[in-house]
Each structure stands twice: as C-alpha cells, then as structure tokens.
Amino acid sequence: MISNAALTDLIIKMADDELIQGHRNSEWTGLGPVMEEDIAFSSMAQDKIGHAWALYRILHENLGGEDPDRFAFMRPEKDFRCSHLVEMPNGGYDFSLMRHFLFDHAETVRYESLQDSSFEPFQLLSKKIKGELKYHTLHANAFIMQLSKASEEGYARMQTALNDTIALAAGVFEPSAAHEEALMAEKVYPGEKELYHRWLDRIYPVLVKASLNLPDMNTITPVYGGRQGFHTTHLAPLLKEMGEVFNLDTEASW
Amino acid sequence: MLATITREDVYHALEQVMDPEIPVLSVIDLGMITGVEITEGQPVLVRMIPTFAACPAVSYIKDNIRTVVEKALGIAVTVEIDKQVHWESNRMTAAAKEKLKNFGIAPPPVLEGDVRPEIMLNTPCPHCGSEHTYLRSPFGSTLCRAIHYCKSCGQVFEQFKPLE
C-alpha cells in the first residue's frame, strides 16, 4: 500500500505546476500579439487552472487534504512545490512559447503514464486531461515550427529561447528523495527519469522539423529545488497577486 | 406520486435544460447525462459530466438541471457529477450535430481512436458547406471551440472541437 504522504507529495507538485503555469498564461490575456494568440493563452490558462483544481480536489476528497481554494490561495510560498520553469515571468513571446512547448509535452507524457496508475483517481482524471492537452501541444508544435521558419530573426530567437529554457524544463523532472522509489514500486507512476526520457522523445522530432538544435543534454544541469520548496524570487509576487482577491475575505462565498 | 414518475419522464424534462454557452443544445443533446436513478422515498438522482474539466458553467448547469426537472415533475432532484465517466465528443447525438451546424458552429467529426492534428483540417464550413477551410486556432471563445477560416465564403467560423 502506498502512503498518503507519497501520493500527496506527487499531487501537490503536479497541481502547483498547473496552477502557476495557468496564472502565467493568464498574464497574456489582453496582451497577445494577435487575437488568436491572446485567446489561445487565455484558454490554456483556464484549462490549466481547471486541472490544478481537479488535482487539489483529489487531495481533498481522497487524501484528507484542505479545501481546494484555501489550499491554492492561502499556502505560504515555502509550501509550494512548483518547478522553477513555471515561476519564470513571461518575458517575450519567444520565451513564453518555448516554455509552453516544453511544459505541455512534459505534462502530456506524465498524464499518459497515469492512465495505468495503481491510484484509481489518477486513471480517471488523466484520460480527461490527456485529451485536452492534445490541443495545447498542437498549438505549441505549430507555432514552434512556424516561427522558426518565418525569418532569420524568428529562427535565432526560437533557438535562444530553447537554450535559455531547456535546463529549467529538465528541472520539471526532479525526483523526490523521500518518495520516488515507493511511488515507482507501487506502480503509481513510472518515475521522473522515465518520464524525462519519454519527454525528450516527444520534443526531439518537433525540434528537428523546426531545424532547432537541442543542446547536448549531458552538458545541461537541470534546475532543481522547486519540488523541495526552494523557489525563485518570482514566485512570491505571483502568489501575492494571485491570492489578492481571495484573501480580502477568505470566508466569502463565490 | 413518486412511484408514477419514470426515468423517461426525467429524460424528457432534461431535454428542456439548455447549455448556457450553446443555447440550442440540451444537456441530453450534448451527452452530458450519464444516469438517472429513481428510488422510492428519495430525491431523483441525476448524474452528469462536464464537457471540459475546467468548464466554468458546470455549477450553473447543475443548478439548472435541478430547478427545471423539479419544476416539470414536481419532485425533489439531486444532481451529481459522475466521476466514473469522462465526456468525449462522440457522446453528442447526430441530431445535436445538425442543430449545432444550423446554429453556425461546425460540429465535431466522429472520432475513431485518438485525436490527430489532421482531423482539424478541412472542417466543413457551417455557412456554405465548403471544405476549402483552414484551422486558425485550436482555441476559441469557449474552451470547447476552435476557430477556422473558410476560403470559399471568406468567413471565420467556430467549431465544437473533437475531444477523445
């Protein structure tokens, strides 16, 4: 039997990534370079926050966790388990798009693997999320290819964005020192290392089509720390803004 | 009173509960209802599923189901989200797809297996029927819609996306 602590740790990481990336996506609302892109990032924001909510609900209903809204908006920064990748400010469209591409493929391999999880709530939820993510990766792949082929400047900017983002993205797959082995042994999921390799297999063909060069992954040091509660300076201001309305009156009924 | 109410009566009443984002389609048309249970001495139980996980209209639809069915049949109703079933676009009835098209939204094609990107190409235009169209964005004005452009009639149109 897998411990609640191990499951809780895994779910919080996944949900916090969804919530924070969802918030970052929402920051493009009203600012997208063209109308369709504004709508795309806003829709993906809504999807991601919905996925975070569904995961917080599993914590609440199956593992004795707190109410999802309170858990999302009232936790101190040190209790968040998101990766540094999602904490980074949006920067330019090149960075946002590359992060979206790398992150959504990372999510896709994760949720695909959870269809076979020994933890039943994962099986049900992952089927749903995996179908919705198809549109996120479809969007990301199309734009990565389009912008890389658009002009010399477009190509150079996408390659720079990839170089700047890859170590952060590899950091999504930070294993848990305390729980990783148990989660794998109990077949909750295949483990971060396996997911990392599946992720590389997914992003590589798209990068090739876009003529972008994947940096030598053996020379990359993945940016770890987020899963242990160590965060960049960008997270605290984000949490403050995200929880601002909720924390005006935490008992209000919406 | 309750003993005389059948599941058919409940389904019939549910046909009056419209989707707030696509008001020509009922929750039955959309395939959002997964079960109705009638147990003597208890409220009628209706089980439903949202189309997309983050659909913001879910609690609104839940309330609507309860109020409309209670009013139509004069009984107490409980609405539950069914977690054992997930919504896929193949749940939508053929009649619903026709209504959707007449409303100006291209219906999702029937899915055989997983969604592949190619399925989003050459979606028939709901205005002129042409397949000379292209996908402008897999995201639209609501989570369940994509935006296409018709090269034949020069109009932008929305599609209810296929979902596996």
Q: Is residue A25 part of a domain?
A: yes
The average pLDDT across B112-122 equals: 87
Query: Which residue from A36, A42, A128 is facing B53, i.e. has the nearest CB?
Result: A128
A209 touches chain B (CB under 8 A): no
Which tens digits make up the pLDDT trace of A30-88? Answer: 998 898 999 999 999 999 999 999 999 999 999 999 999 999 999 999 999 999 999 99
- Crossing angle of helices A35-62 and A4-26, in 10° steps, is 160
Rounded Cα distance between B138 and A3, Å, is: 40
B136 touches chain A (CB under 8 A): yes
Query: Which residue from A39, A48, A134 is facing B140, i.e. has the nearest CB?
Result: A39
Q: Which residues in chain A have their CB less than 8 angstroms from residue B86's CB?
A: 124, 127-128, 131
* Contact call for B53 and A50, based on CB within 8 A: yes
- Cα nearest neighbour of A36 on chain B: B137
Say what the pLDDT of residue A51 is: 96
Say what the pLDDT of residue B69 is: 96
Say what the pLDDT of residue B42 is: 93
Which tens digits make up the pLDDT trace of B39-85? Answer: 988 999 999 999 888 888 889 999 999 999 999 999 999 999 998 89
Say what the pLDDT of residue B115 is: 86
The average pLDDT across B76-98 equals: 94
* Contact call for A51 and B136, based on CB within 8 A: no
Distances (CA, A) of A119 to A81, A124, A186, B66: 20, 10, 9, 32
Rounded Cα distance between B22 and B30, Å, is: 10
A51 touches chain B (CB under 8 A): yes
Residue B147 predicted with pLDDT over 90: yes
Which tens digits make up the pLDDT trace of A104-132? Answer: 999 999 999 999 999 999 999 999 999 99
Residue B1 predicted with pLDDT over 60: no
* Contact call for A134 and B115, based on CB within 8 A: yes
Rounded Cα distance between A172 and A162, Å, is: 15
Percent of chain A scoring above 70 in pLDDT: 100
* Contact call for B53 and A40, based on CB within 8 A: no
Which domain does A133 fall in, by range? 4-248
* Contact call for B56 and A46, based on CB within 8 A: yes
Which tens digits make up the pLDDT trace of B15-41? Answer: 999 999 899 999 999 999 999 999 988
* Contact call for B54 and A53, based on CB within 8 A: yes
Rounded Cα distance between A115 and A127, Å, is: 6
Q: Is residue A186 part of a domain?
A: yes
Q: Is residue A254 part of a domain?
A: no
Q: How many beta-carbon pairs below 8 A join chains A and B?
A: 67
Q: Which residues in chain A have their CB less than 8 angstroms from residue B87's CB?
A: 128
pLDDT level of residue B3 (50, 70, 90 thresholds): low
* Contact call for B52 and A51, based on CB within 8 A: no
- DSSP per position, A238-250: HHHHHTTTGGG-T
Q: Is residue A101 part of a domain?
A: yes
CATH number of A28's domain: 1.20.1260.10
Tally of domains in chain A: 1
Q: Is residue A253 part of a domain?
A: no
Instruction: Chain A: give the shortest CA distance to residue B3, in Å.
Output: 34
- DSSP per position, B1-15: -GGG--HHHHHHHHT
Cβ count within 10 A of residue B104 = 12
* Contact call for B139 and A44, based on CB within 8 A: yes
Which tens digits make up the pLDDT trace of A203-244? Answer: 999 999 999 999 999 999 999 999 999 999 999 999 999 999
* Contact call for B53 and A49, based on CB within 8 A: no
Say what the pLDDT of residue A132 is: 93
Say what the pLDDT of residue A2 is: 85
Rounded Cα distance between A164 and A85, Å, is: 11
Chain A, 99 to 118: residues with Cβ < 8 Å from chain B are none
Please give the DSSP secondary-structure letter assigned to residue B47.
E
Q: Is residue A183 part of a domain?
A: yes
Instruction: Chain A: give the shortest CA distance to residue B121, in Å.
Output: 12
Judge contact between A128 and A51, C-beta under 8 A: no
* Contact call for A131 and B120, based on CB within 8 A: no
Say what the pLDDT of residue B163 is: 93
* Contact call for B54 and A124, based on CB within 8 A: no
Residue B2 predicted with pLDDT over 80: no
ipTM, 2 dp? 0.84
Say what the pLDDT of residue A188 is: 98
Chain A, 131 to 150: residues with Cβ < 8 Å from chain B are 131-132, 134-135, 138-139, 141
Q: Is residue A69 part of a domain?
A: yes
Q: Is residue A243 part of a domain?
A: yes
The average pLDDT across A129-137 equals: 95
B3 touches chain A (CB under 8 A): no
